[in-house]
């Protein structure tokens, strides 16, 4: 059996889709569905069972999971960079991850978990997954919760066998339930449909023009390929970046969205709210050399190609 926490979420549901494409259906989905439309991400997927997050924790504590577990993909977390309740994030992201990581280590189960590029902070120390984890300074409580777990897993020696993936800016189908935390592509698509234009933050940092803030945007299909690669390579451990290795601007992203929709480009720039300015990353770019050194050879989807596929084959069809 394979366990996917956060299995009804954006990346988790696409991972289950990827597992199903391999013919794998003995999957336990763990999530907390709440009151949004996240449940729709599970429609059409094949899995063995579903447990709420709290039911799952109780089942582990009571040793009630009887199936042999091959792997745990731990993607369940609050990923809102605007969430300011650090106590909640440490319980939901840090403590929960500790529980599963320790369980996997004690039972010799493959454990692959979601870290985040938010752990790198403003980028002054670079974006290398081969450096000293302590030198990075996250800009928000979410980034700190992921940073704290990375440090804990390293201190336990678990990263010799377990894998943490520092997701950069992931986009693609099944993210609409995330509301304001969904990708700029998804939000731009809706704005174009409604008004024919897109609004982007102005720059408040010297050296960056409006709309020229840079991110490493990675298509979710590529993210799934990397996660499955690590499932197939049980001898690999450690923390790895998961981006494309190429930073692109938000303006590039929006122009690609207009193009995929066959619409003329109209962009309006507006002031970034004051409360975000001190926690905003102006540049992210994954150093992908560590992943490549393991023998991973698949190329990453070009931004314009990923946006076109997402817009035309998913967003335009209501997905």
| Residue 263 annotated in ligand binding | no
Q: Is there a binding annotation on residue 283?
A: no
Q: Is 115 marked as binding a ligand?
A: no
- Say if residue 187 carries a ligand binding annotation: yes
Q: Is 53 annotated as a binding residue?
A: yes
Q: How far apart are CA 259 and CA 265, in angstroms?
A: 8
Active-site residue (options: 94, 142, 171, 310): 142
| Contacts within 8 Å (CB) and 24+ apart, 258-266 | 258/192, 258/198, 259/304, 259/307, 259/308, 260/307, 260/308, 260/310, 260/311, 260/312, 261/189, 261/192, 261/311, 261/316, 263/192, 263/196, 266/196, 266/197, 266/198
**Is 92 annotated as ligand-binding?**
yes
Q: Is 170 annotated among the ligand-binding residues?
A: yes
Q: Hey, what are 26's tokens?
A: 């003995």
Nearest CA to 12 out of 34, 24, 30 is that of: 30
Distance CA 117, CA 103 (A): 25
51 is in an annotated binding site: no
On whether 262 is known to bind a ligand per the annotation, the reply is: no
178 catalytic? Reply is yes
204 is in an annotated binding site: yes
- Count Cα atoms within 13 angstroms, Cβ side, for 139: 19
- Verify whether residue 209 is a known catalytic residue: no
From the candidates 178, 269, 296, 314, which is the catalytic residue?
Answer: 178
Binding-site residues from annotation: 10-11, 31-32, 38, 53, 75-79, 92, 146, 169-170, 178, 180, 187, 201-204, 215, 280
Mark the binding-site residues for substrate, compressed into ranges.
169, 180, 187, 201-204, 215, 280
Catalytic residue ranges? 142, 178
């Amino acid at each position: 059996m394979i366990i996917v926490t956060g299995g009804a979420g954006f990346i988790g549901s696409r991972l289950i889709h990827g597992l199903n494409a391999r013919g794998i259906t003995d999957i336990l989905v763990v999530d907390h569905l709440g009151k949004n439309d996240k449940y729709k991400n599970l429609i059409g997927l094949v899995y063995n069972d579903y447990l709420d997050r709290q039911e799952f924790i109780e089942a582990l504590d009571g040793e009630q999971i009887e199936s042999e577990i091959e792997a745990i993909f731990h993607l369940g977390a609050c990923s809102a960079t605007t969430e300011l309740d650090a106590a909640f994030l440490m319980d939901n992201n840090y403590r929960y991850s500790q529980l599963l990581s320790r369980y996997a280590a004690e039972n010799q189960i493959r454990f692959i978990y979601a870290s985040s590029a938010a752990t790198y902070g403003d980028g002054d120390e670079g974006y290398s997954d081969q450096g000293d984890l302590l030198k990075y300074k996250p800009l928000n409580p979410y980034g700190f919760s992921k940073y704290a777990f990375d440090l804990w897993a390293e201190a336990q020696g678990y990263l010799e066998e377990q894998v943490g993936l520092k997701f950069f800016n992931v986009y693609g189908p099944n993210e609409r339930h995330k509301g304001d935390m969904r990708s700029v592509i998804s939000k731009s698509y809706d704005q174009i449909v409604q008004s024919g234009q897109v609004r982007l933050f102005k720059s408040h940092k010297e050296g960056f023009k409006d709309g020229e803030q840079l991110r490493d945007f990675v298509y979710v299909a590529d993210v799934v390929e990397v996660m499955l690669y690590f499932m197939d390579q049980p001898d690999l451990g450690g923390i790895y970046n998961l981006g494309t290795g190429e930073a692109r601007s938000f303006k590039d992203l929006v122009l690609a969205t207009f193009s995929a929709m066959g619409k003329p480009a109209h962009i309006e720039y507006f002031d970034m709210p004051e409360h975000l300015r001190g926690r905003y990353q102006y540049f992210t770019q994954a150093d992908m050399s560590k992943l490549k050194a393991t023998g991973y050879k698949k190329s990453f989807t070009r931004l314009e190609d990923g946006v076109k596929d997402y817009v035309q084959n998913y967003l335009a069809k209501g997905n």
